[in-house]
Amino acid sequence: MIAFLLKRLVWMVITLWVVYTITFFLMRFVPGGPFDGERKLSAAAQQNIEAQYRLDLPLHEQYLYHLGKAVRFDFGRCLKLPDNTVNQVIAEGFPVSASLGIFAMVFAIVVGMTAGIVSSLRRNTWVDYLLMGFATIGIAVPNFVLAGICIMLFVFYWQIFPAAGWGTPEQMILPALCLGAPFAAYIARLSRTGLLEVLGQDYIRTAYAKGLLPRRVVMGHAMRGAIVPVVSYLGPATAGILTGSLVLEQIFGLTGLGTHFIEAVNGRDYAVAAGITLVYTVVLFVANTIVDVLYSLLDPRVTLQ
């Protein structure tokens, strides 16, 4: 386990360097600059601003300078918000995005697993068809479309939830539901398929033959093998939740990392875009590592390599 985690740590460092390098050069090769939309500046003022942010240096010197600061977890000051540092922007936006992602993931796992278990135990009944029908719709409908429908129904028509903002439980429910619903649908189908496959195994029939209650057989014996596909899916689901939150934060007016990232890309704020990209990379790498460890704990046949 320690050797596996050390190898993952080394690969994470390499991955962060590659991601930072790609982000650095892509942002600078995109047409336009961070100060193109500002009022017309004199040549002297333009030179002073570029010198302040090291934009007057050759590209390879800019890369080495900012890479050295990034290694020290210092991404510098925002180009569009000079009074704030990138670390301050990340510290402000990360709790919002993390809370939204955690609520969405918990909702997806609880609802998806419950629907999958009930559907598998009621196979080929109207309950199974109904739940899997909803799961199919949940997979097909994008979360931003679902968000628009939920806003029309639960904000304007029934007026149950607020349209925007963050901090109270009422403000958290609707964005988390819209973000987690497609992933709940995937988890429902995976858990149903996994549980049906496990329920046909010999050791499950032996457990029934011993006279164990169906609930104990399902929850105590079958679920460990049935949730393996779900655990494998949690890594890609984390990536999907992060990318999906970029759009939903805009729709619900949340000042999370997604909002700051989109504003940074549109405004060519190189420092903010690079910093947030690295944060997303770390989160995804840690999530995938946790999933691999859980997978090996659930299935002894899997070895960490």
Q: Helix, strand or coil for residue 85?
A: strand
Task: Convert the pLDDT of each residue in 60-106 to its tens digit.
Answer: 888 998 888 888 888 888 877 777 888 898 898 888 888 888 889 89
Mean pLDDT, the chain, rounded, equals 84
Which pLDDT value is given to residue 36?
Answer: 66
Query: Looking at per-residue confidence, does 73 or 40 come out higher?
Result: 73
Report percent pLDDT > 90 for the chain: 11
Instruction: Give the pLDDT band (50/70/90) at residue 112.
Output: very high
The CA distance from 67 to 128, in Å, is 54
Global pTM value? 0.81
pLDDT recorded at residue 14? 93
In which band, very low, low, confident or very high, does the pLDDT at 169 lie, cut at 50, 70 and 90?
confident
Q: Is the pLDDT of residue 38 over 60?
A: no
Fold category of 90-267 in CATH = MetI-like fold (1.10.3720)
Per-residue pLDDT, 54: 76
Task: Report the candidate in 200, 280, 222 with the shortest Cα–Cα distance to residue 246.
Answer: 280
pLDDT at 199: 81
pLDDT of residue 55: 76
Give the pLDDT mean for 237-249.
81
Cα separations (Å) of 267 from 230, 261, 270?
A: 39, 10, 9
Most confident of the following: 152-166, 179-193, 207-221 = 179-193
pLDDT at 109 over 70: yes
pLDDT for residue 301:
67
Domain boundaries, the chain: 90-267
* C-alpha to C-alpha distances, 174 to 100, 151, 219, nearest whole angstrom: 10, 8, 30
pLDDT tops 80 at residue 6: yes
Query: Going by C-beta distance under 8 Å and a sequence separation of 6 or more, which residues neighbour residue 260?
Result: 89, 90, 93, 272, 276
**What are the Cα distances from residue 190, in Å, to 105, 114, 120, 178, 279?**
15, 12, 11, 20, 29
The confidence score (pLDDT) of residue 39 equals 61
Please report, rounded to a whole number, the percentage of residues in the chain having pLDDT higher than 70: 94
* Tens-digit pLDDT profile for residues 252-274: 888 888 888 888 888 888 888 89
Instruction: Specify which residues 85 forms β-bridges with.
Output: 77
- How confident is the model over 190-223, as pLDDT tens digits? 988 888 888 877 787 888 787 777 778 887 777 8
Distance CA 187, CA 216 (A): 22
